[in-house]
Structure 1
Amino acid sequence: MDEVQRFRQALVAWAAGGAEAGAAAAVARELAGGVVRTVVLVEGSSDQVALEALATRHGRDLGAEGVAVVPLGGATGIGRFLDVCGPSGLGLPLAGLCDVGEERHFRRHLERVGLGSGLTRAELETLGFHVCVADLEDELIRAVGAEGVQRVIEAQGELRPFHTFQGQPAQRERPVEHQLRRFLGTHSGRKALYAQALVAHLHLERVPRPLERLLAHV
């Protein structure tokens, strides 16, 4: 296990609390500021995969640069992670990515830990926190285009399951972009799989703004 991964696991255990929290906090403190210089808080593993894949396409290795991309396991966990990473915890530089529906959680807890007051969207971005509209999958589908996404699905051997999904009564009348977005979230692990595949397929001049700005920030 590399040191950034060790830090990430320790941070998750510390934020979760419980019997292991003390030992996990010690490991996180040991690695903070040395091995790890910045923490990027994202909602889930698909966000982590997308950001790291985009960095690779730009010739960057975030782990080697000391940037730890940490999935929260859901946006409501942002408060616990800011408590352990923020000014009253490790005091590390922070950045992040969230869906537009979860922006209020991020804003409220950033303000609570002293990183701003009455934060606007622009002020969130200045802090390094960026918002996907409506979510990462929606951003990537719009950037790649519906036809391009279907080519990626075909390359993954899932075009027939997608066509079957399109034929479901609840999906038949919906726009193909909506069908694609729902399809990417139907099975566990599919979002992360397609996050990586779509970023690999993406023209770099069409990178979704939240991903582009976040990567530039770190």
Structure 2
Amino acid sequence: MLLVEGASDAAALHGVAALLGRSLPAEGVSVVAMGGATNVARHLLELPDGVAVGGLYDAAEERFFRGGLERAGFGRVADAADLEAHGFFGCDPDLEGELVRALGLEQALRVVAAQGELSSFRVLQRQPAQRDRTVEQHLHRFLGTRSGRKAQYAAALVAALAVDAVPLPLLGVLGVGPPQL
């Protein structure tokens, strides 16, 4: 079982698995969108005995995952390395940041265009509160401005990735090492 913060993380993991020629359901791996990092302890405490667990989290939410694992009886979890040892991998700063960095800004904007939303993105960029921000900051803000957009773009951004560009946290949580170059 893989515990993730939300639907976008679940969409990304299923997309990466498909990119790698895998099907998580066929492998008996369920991906559970917990509705936020603060719910991790509850989900861990409700796990049936013997169920292998891992997960994906945003860097800012690390403390919730460390605390959740400790409360659920996994022992002391001091840092991100301890989390990885338990199968939990952090995205820096978050899933969207990892995916945009992996694709590159130009390719990420091509994904926005392919989704038919480049004009909406340009409207956001022209807003007074956005004028002093970078294009990367605009894109991050844009991805979170409408319900369901994060999940939509998680799937679309992953679909645009080359296998050797998949961010390491997504490979790690799926039990895949970094690509050999």
TM bracket (short chain): over 0.9
**Aligned counterpart for 1:123 among listed residues 82, 86, 89:** 82
Larger radius of gyration: 1
Distance 2:83 2:22 in 1: 24
Deviations 1:18-74 (A, max 9, x none): xxxxxxxxxxxxxxxxxxxxx100000000000001001111010010000000001
**Aligned counterpart for 2:143 among listed residues 172, 175, 184:** 184
Distance 2:174 2:99 in 1: 15
Q: List aligned pairs for 1:152-163, cutoff 5 A.
A: 152-163=111-122
More divergent stretch after superposition (207-216 vs 39-48): 207-216
Larger relative contact order, structure 1 or 2 (CA cutoff 8 Å, min sep 6): 2
What secondary structure is seen at the aligned counterpart in 1 of 2:131? coil
Q: Percent identity?
A: 53
2:121, 2:142 within 8 Å by CA — same for their partners in 1?
Answer: yes
Residue 119 (structure 1) shift: 2.7
Specify the alignment match of 2:8 in structure 1.
Answer: 46
What secondary structure is seen at the aligned counterpart in 2 of 1:81? helix
Specify the alignment match of 1:198 in structure 2.
Answer: 157
Residue 116 (structure 1) shift: 2.4
Unaligned runs of 5+ in 1: 1-38
Distance 2:115 2:68 in 1: 39
What secondary structure is seen at the aligned counterpart in 1 of 2:32? strand
Deviations 1:98-128 (A, max 9, x none): 1111110110110122212143211211110
Please give the root-mean-square deviation of Cα atoms over the aligned residues, in Å: 1.1
Distance 1:153 1:214 in 2: 26
Matched, 1:164 2:123: yes
Specify the alignment match of 1:80 in structure 2.
Answer: 42
Unaligned runs of 5+ in 2: 177-181
Residue 149 (structure 1) shift: 0.8
Specify the alignment match of 1:24 in structure 2.
Answer: none
Moved over 4 A (4+): none
2:77, 2:83 within 8 Å by CA — same for their partners in 1?
Answer: no
1:111, 1:119 within 8 Å by CA — same for their partners in 2?
Answer: no
Which amino acid letter does the alignment assign opposite residue 64 of structure 1?
Answer: A
Which amino acid letter does the alignment assign opposite residue 150 of structure 2?
Answer: K
TM-score by length of 1: 0.78
1:42, 1:48 within 8 Å by CA — same for their partners in 2?
Answer: yes
TM-score by length of 2: 0.94
1:43, 1:73 within 8 Å by CA — same for their partners in 2?
Answer: yes
Residue 90 (structure 1) shift: 3.5
Distance 1:90 1:173 in 2: 51
Aligned residues: 176
Matched, 1:71 2:33: yes
